[in-house]
């Protein structure tokens, strides 16, 4: 199913607007960063990713959450294991996904990138539905933001080496690029 983009929002997608966003310093959207997340680590499903990105994660729901519940983070989108697409931040706004980062000598990747989370782990595999939806979303983004080219699609580990490892060795870049 092709996605359409209107006023920074993809359709069809579940929209869940995060308070963890702000204005971009300029309109240059020229990088796509692929991430992964699971909450608690290694567990899939449930409300916890939404809760983290919405700033309402209950620290008492799991011991791991005691160390992260106050984080102010977000991504533009999440692709769940079954292929469900959730969008938290409109693309023309800055999501807080990359942290301390650098791409081709340019720091602060949040300023010019789109962040897409895959529900998964750094060490696990991703589902066929996730690859399909990621490719469809990527095609829509490349059409809307022509500066995002195949060479400007990267992993979190590549823009924050030594600090981040996602999407990990289980992410099949060759498979993903073939779908584009």
- Note if 117 is an active site residue: yes
Do 88 and 95 meet the contact criterion of CB atoms below 8 Å apart? yes
Kindly name the residue from 17, 66, 117, 119 that is annotated as catalytic. 117
Residue found by looking up tokens 């720091």 in the block: 107
Question: Can the peptide bond before residue 40 be classed as cis, meaning omega within 30 degrees of 0?
Answer: yes
Chain center to CA of 21: 13
As a whole number of angstroms, the distance between CA 94 and CA 76 comes to 8
Question: What is the Cβ-side half-sphere exposure of residue 72, based on CA atoms within 13 angstroms?
Answer: 5
Q: Which residues are catalytic?
A: 117
């Amino acid at each position: 199913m092709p996605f359409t983009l209107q006023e920074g929002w993809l359709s069809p997608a579940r929209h869940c607007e995060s308070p963890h966003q702000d204005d971009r310093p300029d309109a240059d959207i020229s990088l796509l960063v692929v991430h992964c997340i699971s909450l608690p680590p290694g567990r899939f499903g449930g409300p916890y990713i939404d809760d983290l990105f919405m700033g309402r994660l209950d620290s008492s729901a799991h011991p791991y959450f005691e160390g992260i519940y106050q984080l102010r983070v977000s991504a533009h989108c999440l692709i769940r294991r079954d292929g469900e697409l959730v969008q938290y931040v409109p693309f023309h706004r800055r999501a807080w996904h990359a942290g301390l980062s650098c791409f081709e000598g340019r720091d602060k990747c949040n300023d010019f990138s789109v962040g897409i989370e895959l529900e998964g782990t750094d060490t696990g595999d991703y589902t066929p539905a996730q690859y399909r939806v990621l490719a469809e979303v990527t095609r829509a983004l490349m059409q809307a933001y022509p500066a995002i080219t195949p060479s400007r699609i990267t992993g979190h580990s590549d823009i924050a080496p030594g600090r981040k490892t996602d999407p990990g060795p289980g992410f099949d870049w060759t498979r993903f690029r073939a779908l584009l």
